[in-house]
Chain A
């Protein structure tokens, strides 16, 4: 039957699409466990030597910590700043609140190149020396819109009458936030924080321009690949991958928990 044939053709095609999407990554993960330095088949057997190499190399270790530091600071700052802004624009219908929203969303529409060079020339001119702090500044701009999007879409559905009820029952502004608003929006804040972490953990376009002497993980991979083929890049790539995938699976768990 023509229809069945078409359906199975579509199925095969879709499977091939997924193979195309995942096979390259699978190869990287596979060869990170390879015994020899070869990047190609045949596979010579499992070993953890490249992971050991990564962890024994000070530059890789430093890069992992640098990436963690930037991501954690970004998460903390963006969660505080973005949650406050989300509450501000959804709780109060003040004049200009729409403009504020657009203003906080629009950096997401800019290519990283533009943000990167704008920051770089600004830092050069104001004689701010490039460091992980300048990288963090770039990451904040990059991740804030995504977090703001997640948190406002939750707060849009938040019933602010609950805050009034809490106030009526004797809760001051802080107690209202801590006992009512925060517990109710916490799952979205965690999901948003995980998005922020994974975006920052992977960021390379803005980091490329704002980086100082201390490299982040993606930049170490970039510069290593530019210079030579080093099998330990497979291992470090797998670590990078694992770091950002923790996010998707946590969010999925979170969503499952919420549905119960």
Chain B
């Protein structure tokens, strides 16, 4: 059966044409999107990687001379290490609060609401799509020295002078982070809880499990995917944030991301900024991998 012309590679001309037309169609359809991602991301990212291995001669200038020093400087400098711990700690804290605070709300929306469930989820989506910057600004006006809380406290005579620690502090940054990322947590948790059948909960209760046991034995393990997803997502995006610390954190809360931003925009040391950003990406990737492994391990 392999003696046919096709099998021996002698295709008829029109059939070659058909195969070529198909290839051209695929190329025309997929090509532009690949060009967008390739041109606006892959090439710049590759360029950034190259930059992280060359020397900076300051003020935006670089010397094309291969070096590891951008990385060794970052990894050895205790200041960087302190700031790194600081920003990853802040991110982890915000992520943890989001997951923990999101759980009861997600549980309530999934299992206690029926007709109102879609409305509640819609509200979560609405808050997800309300401008990030507007929310930061809102907290700025609430927590600021001229803000609602401080003026209120002063007027009521609780304090004499505005409380400065409210704004330009780690507390302000974490509050804003939680405000921005809590909706994501709630959405991810509800979507993973949706797979838990309500009768499973009834069963657990019938078998005499109290609310705590039902939660820890049934709800928690079965919604772990959502919890881990929400934690990883919040952790990565908050640790990589430089806008929030710069608006609400003041000088007390310099983040790694702000340093990268400063290296690029203020100091003109792109190689150093590039190296830091690749170190950050590696850490994000490691955290993500570690968390997904943890989940698989827990699942066994």
Interface residues, chain A, with chain B CB atoms under 8 Å away: 3, 6-7, 10-11, 13-14, 17-18, 20-22, 24-25, 27-28, 31, 39-41, 77, 80-82, 84-85, 87-89, 91-92, 94, 100, 103-104, 107, 110-115, 117-122, 124-125, 137-138, 140-141, 144, 148, 173, 198, 201-202, 204-205, 208-209, 218, 221-222, 225-226, 229, 233-234, 237, 240-241, 244-245, 247-248, 252
Contacts and interface: CB of A to CB of B under 8 A. Distances in A.
Interface in B259-273: 260-261, 264-265, 270, 273
Contact of B130 (A17, A118, A124, A245): A245
B25 A92 contact: yes
12 contacts: A13-B104, A41-B148, A103-B34, A111-B237, A113-B261, A118-B44, A121-B51, A122-B48, A202-B132, A240-B134, A245-B130, A252-B122
Contacts of B126: 245, 248
B224 interface: no
A121 B129 contact: no
A121 B148 contact: no
B139 A24 contact: yes
B240 A111 contact: yes
Interface of B: 22, 25-26, 28-30, 32-34, 36-37, 40-41, 43-45, 47-48, 51, 60, 101, 104-105, 107-109, 112, 120, 122-127, 129-142, 144, 146-148, 151-152, 179, 182-183, 186, 211, 236-237, 240-243, 246-247, 257, 260-261, 264-265, 270, 273-274, 277, 280-281, 284
A245 B104 CA distance: 27
Interface of B is mostly: helix
A113 B277 contact: yes
Nearest to B47: A122
A92 B22 contact: yes
B259 to A, nearest CB: 11
B123 A18 contact: yes
A239 to B, nearest CB: 10
Which 5 interchain pairs have the tightest Cβ spacing? A88-B29, A111-B240, A24-B138, A85-B33, A122-B44
Residue from A17, A104, A117, A241 having most chain B Cβ neighbours under 10 A: A117
B32 A84 contact: yes
